[in-house]
Structure 1
């Protein structure tokens, strides 16, 4: 569904309020190509009562990495470090190479926080707004509004929470964003507003951003992501 600019901005604002603390920066910390800093975005998803961290698999094929921490996602204030180190990054994730998605159960992250004397203060993308097979099937060739929540890459390596309002459509059978995104957006969740089969309009998390190709980004869609998470 294509929204007018004012409504797009309203949706983006509401998403930041409802789900801003579900979005976390992730980066590879081992040496990589000079033009690839390995920085992207992960997000928390809860389905069947279990919490997982999701991101693009391309970000997790490394020897070491870290999950960045904003002050707003931990409590009490001033206790947590700036990041959670993942020295054995590739081994910690469940890799779904056919989807381009990596899944990390968050039990160990909560145990790490408890051991350091702090708690996570996060939000999660709930399964209720994750797009199902029917919602994904309704995405057609006509571009619709899409909102991406991500941690960009700012001056001095800062990772600010950002919003990008883009267009999503089905091209050659693939659901994709129609423009390339800035650094740091790989793995980020993509949201759209859709009319359901019953005529109701609702917000849906369509999937996550995969590496750029042909001037845009294919999406790993949530109908397939959900199946992969449930099978993990």
Structure 2
């Protein structure tokens, strides 16, 4: 669905309110990216951190923290070193996805005297095959929540309003995204056959030039039950 500019601005604002605290900056010695919390059910056991496989794997990985995603105020560090988290990332290069079970993140926080205060993207809005199939060659509005990279090195939370299309099995964002956006979640608004309009998390941004492929949730869902380690 291609929205008018006012509607796009409204959706972008609401996304920041509803899932803004799901989004965190991630970096390694070789790359900047974005990761986000996803919960497959009401049980925290079903919670995971997701990003693009190409973002993780280099030394020096760390997850940046904002004051709004931890409590109490002033206790958590500025970043969580990847080496402190067990289990670590499970990489699925064939699908372009990396998954980090969050049990280790919660243990790390508890040992440090703080806790997470996040808004995981819920499974109820993850785009299934039907939502992906409704995309076509005509551009639809897409919303990317990410931590960009400013010239001073800061990583503010941003929303990019883009266009997404589907060509066969490939779903692509047509524009080039700034540094730090790889791994970020992509959202769309669609009307179903009954005319009901819903918000969907389409998937996550993959690396690219002259546009970016999106790893859609029908691919991501297939690897979420996996165990840590390359697959």
Q: TM-score range by the shorter chain?
A: over 0.9
Moved over 6 A (4+): 88-91
Whole-angstrom distance in 1 between the partners of 2:86 and 2:208: 21
Equivalent residue number for residue 36 of structure 2: 43
* Unpaired segments ≥5 residues, structure 1: 33-37
Matches within 5 A, 1:167-206: 167-171=163-167, 173-206=169-202
- The structural deviation recorded for 1:126 is 0.2
Equivalent residue number for residue 228 of structure 1 = 223
1:185-229, CA deviations, whole angstroms, 9 ceiling, x for partnerless residues?
00000000011233211000000000013x100000011111211
- Distance of 1:197 and 1:123 partners within structure 2: 30
2:9 aligned partner: 9
| TM-score relative to the length of structure 2 | 0.93
SS of the equivalent of 2:74 reads coil
Q: Would the alpha carbon gap of residues 89 and 96 (structure 1) be closer, same or farther in structure 2, given more than 3 Å must change?
A: farther
Give the alignment partner of residue 154 of structure 1, picking from 140, 150, 153: 150
Whether the 8 Å CA contact 1:65–1:89 is kept in 2: the answer is no
- Check conservation: 1:61, 1:90, Cα contact below 8 A: no
Conservation of the 8 A alpha-carbon contact between 1:21 and 1:123: yes
Other-structure match for 1:23: 23
Distance between the aligned counterparts of 2:26 and 2:58, measured in 1?
12
- TM-superposed CA distance for 1:171, in Å, is 2.9
Q: Are the counterparts in 1 of residues 87 and 100 from structure 2 also a CA contact under 8 Å?
A: no
Deviation track 1:19-53 (CA, whole Å, cap 9, x = no partner) reads: 0000000000x3x4xxxxx1110000000331000
Q: Aligned pair count?
A: 224
Write the mapping of 1:75-86 to structure 2, written as runs, cut at 5 A: 75-86=71-82
Q: Alignment partner of 1:155: what SS? A: coil
For 1:206 and 1:99, the matched residues in 2 are separated by: 14
